[in-house]
Amino acid sequence: MYINRELSWVEFNRRVLDEALDTSHPLLERIKFLAIFANNLDEFFMIRVAGLQRQSLEGFVETPPDGMTPRQQLTEIREALIPLLHSAEQCWNDDLLPRLDGAGIRIRRVADLDQVSRGRLRKFFESEIFPVLTPLAFDTSHPFPFISNLSINLAIVVHDPEDGDRFARLKVPVGVYPRLIDVPSDTERSQALPCPREFVFLEDLIAANLDLLFPGLVVLAAYPFRITRNADLEIEEDEASDLLTAVEESVEMRRVGQPVRVEVERAMPETRCGFVAGHLGIGLDMVYRNDGPIGMADLMQLASLARPEHRDPPYYPAVPPTLTAEEDPFAAIRRGDILLYHPYDSFTPFITFLQRAASDPDVLAIKMTLYRVGANSPVVDALMEARENGKQVTALIELKARFDEENNIGWARALERDGVHVVYGLVGIKVHAKVCMVVRREPSGIVRYIHLGTGNYNAGTARVYTDLGLFTTDSAIGADVADLFNYLTGYARISRYRRLLVAPVSVRSGLLSLIEREIELHRALGGGRIAFKMNALVDRKCIDALYRASEAGVQVDLQVRGICCLRPGVPGLSERITVSSIVGRFLEHSRIYYFRNGGDEEVFSGSADLMPRNLDRRVEILFPLIDPAVRHVVAHRILDVHLQDTAKARRLRADGSYERVRPENGGEPFDTQVWMIDHRGDWFTPAGPSEGALNPREFR
């Protein structure tokens, strides 16, 4: 009845790799997807594989709904990944490298360069890189050196005329220097056309000049390798004097976690692999041999080159006429709810709203949650300005946002120094909800201006993640948000909210109740339909409820970008359930939960995916779309349009694999994201429900 969560994730990353293989993408966009594929894999090993290995070693088992043991999962993960990694290497070696060469972006081995270029690189090495390097010997007087997480290293074998063969390890200083080094050239750069550029990998440049590091010895071989360590922080929150200190100490431990994977160059002999693995205390089943460069996430350096002819054409986000910098955002929101759909709509209106709140003399207080803030955050700048202007400002910063802990700690301290009330999150639970409240004194009394969203308050990711944001002054939602902040910052215990569904209190129970209502209405009236769009579907209770809906005859259409543990199309169980996934130019990140409700449609959006961690161990919000026009737009101009995709969508089969969705009768593929770019801003003046669903085919 259930697909294994980890194997479903592998299938998701396969879909990311498919985008790198897709020759319809511009060249640098394909390299971007290859880098994302590799980065995803790094995080998967650091968190998910590390957790399974720990369960296997310690004998503590969290049995998933599919019943697989940790050891079974580890075995199947490896079997699924080996062909994927081979495909990624072939993509790089046989397809992308020749195409880069043809585009004047040449990746070379130092040994293949002409003598003049090698000489220039050697001078650069001697003056810039050599002083930074520290070779570490390994013998009876030198213990095996510590190797940090995700670092690129060289395993070096040298021959000493007196002592024979010796072993050393050298850390490649990626971060101090870029992974790809420009080959110096005296070619004049044309103003009209990009001049060809040559690059060498940093580890190859170092390996070509090891004689300078080992004078008097003969360098026999140098093999690149890379270690991935357990980075799943175990924060002893109950024992810590304060949460900030506990998170800081745990982040430091991430660098030294237990090894979970070693990547080596395929040329490394078995004896050398065994030598490295043995001293790290891992088996050869945790060693992965590569034909391409290890650490392909660093290829993002190429994807960011200023070569617009090899990138997606730029798009220009829309700005609602009522939320331009010249307009009064408070008056606009009072007139009616306003929907923003990023990145097709600019994130600037939210920044402008916050900046106006910071300077408006009638604004009394600002409260908001921050999960992944990003660098150079205009949101944080606005909060600091508000505090300088005498507003009461409260920011709940989730210190435990994975891989953003250090960044969030820095922002928390900066805000505190400016006098902002900073809350570090809650013990034992993450705050993942996306909510901002501005309290303003007006002639009619106090008004709460609320922004609720599906994405982080991060101006950078708002350009590449698809997310919904809603401005409203609905009094019941405002009261719910006020209660929520009292719970987050104080000791309030709230078991029921007026309009919001709030995890861990009521998201699961609320959705289950809505699913059961749809089943009952379908039995009475027919025409039952549920449509969900989300990032992940793992929770067994929610899956079982959707199975019951299918068995009762309700049509269930799901679009799940990543992990999906539900099996669609199983006779007698899920025949009326369809599951699709879109991986495209933008990261599909919005969550939409639609119920036909006997014709009186009901739609929720918010921060929560249907995973046990989101429903039980996080503070999440799902908010109803009350305004009929906004509700219609989300249900039919966004959700239904995405369900019609035949360009990037894959359909989940009952066996857990995915197949491409093809246009009917051989028609032109319909790309939802392209259509959204072409029609950005349509939701600012939405059609009423009586006008029916928007059919994208009319606009092709």
Spatial strand order of the sheet with 197-201 comes to: 105-108, 197-201, 180-182
The 3 state secondary structure assigned to 590-636 is: CCEEEECHHHCCEEEEECCCECHHHHHCEEEEEEECCCHHHHHHHHH
Q: Are strands 105-108 and 658-660 parallel, antiparallel or unpaired?
A: unpaired
Tokens representing 524 are: 């009475």
Degrees, nearest 5: CA angle 288-292-297: 85
The answer to whether 421 touches 393, Cβ cutoff 8 Å, is yes
Please tell me what DSSP assigns to residue 196: P
Q: How far apart are the first and last CA of the chain?
A: 39
Cα–Cα–Cα angle for 641, 647, 650, rounded to 5 degrees: 90
Q: And the tokens for 288? A: 């992965």
Instruction: Give me the half-sphere count of Cα atoms (radius 13 Å) on the Cβ side of residue 544.
Output: 6
Measured torsion, CA atoms of residues 182, 185, 187, 190, in degrees rounded to the nearest 10 = 20
Q: What span, in angstroms and rounded, lies between the C-alpha atoms of 76 and 400?
A: 30
Q: What is the dihedral of CA 532, 537, 540, 541, to 10 degrees?
A: -30
Work out the widest C-alpha separation in the chain, in whole angstroms: 91
432 included as an active-site residue: yes
Determine the Cα angle at 660 with ends 655 and 663, to 5°: 135
Distances (CA, A) of 27 to 77, 91, 100, 106, 296: 30, 12, 8, 13, 16
| Residues with Cβ within 8 Å of residue 335, at least 6 apart in sequence | 322
Number of residues assigned to the chain: 700
Q: Annotated catalytic residue: which of 25, 310, 342, 432?
A: 432
Find out whether 31 and 301 touch, Cβ atoms under 8 Å.
Answer: no
CA distance 672 to 493: 43
The two three-digit tokens of residue 636, written as one number: 């039919």
What is the residue-wise DSSP string for 387-450?
Answer: HHTT-EEEEEE-TTSTT-HHHHHHHHHHHHHTT-EEE--BTTBEE---EEEEEEEETTEEEEEE
553: Cβ contacts below 8 Å, ≥ 6 apart = 522, 523, 528, 576
Rounded CA gap, 499 and 514, in Å?
14
Euclidean distance between CA atoms 17 and 36, whole angstroms: 8
Sign of the four-CA dihedral 352, 358, 363, 365: positive
3-state secondary structure of 694: coil
Q: Are 225 and 294 in contact (CB under 8 A)?
A: yes
Contact by Cβ (8 Å): 392, 364: yes
H, E, C per residue of 126-147: HHHHHHHCCCEEEECCECCCCC
Catalytic residues: 432
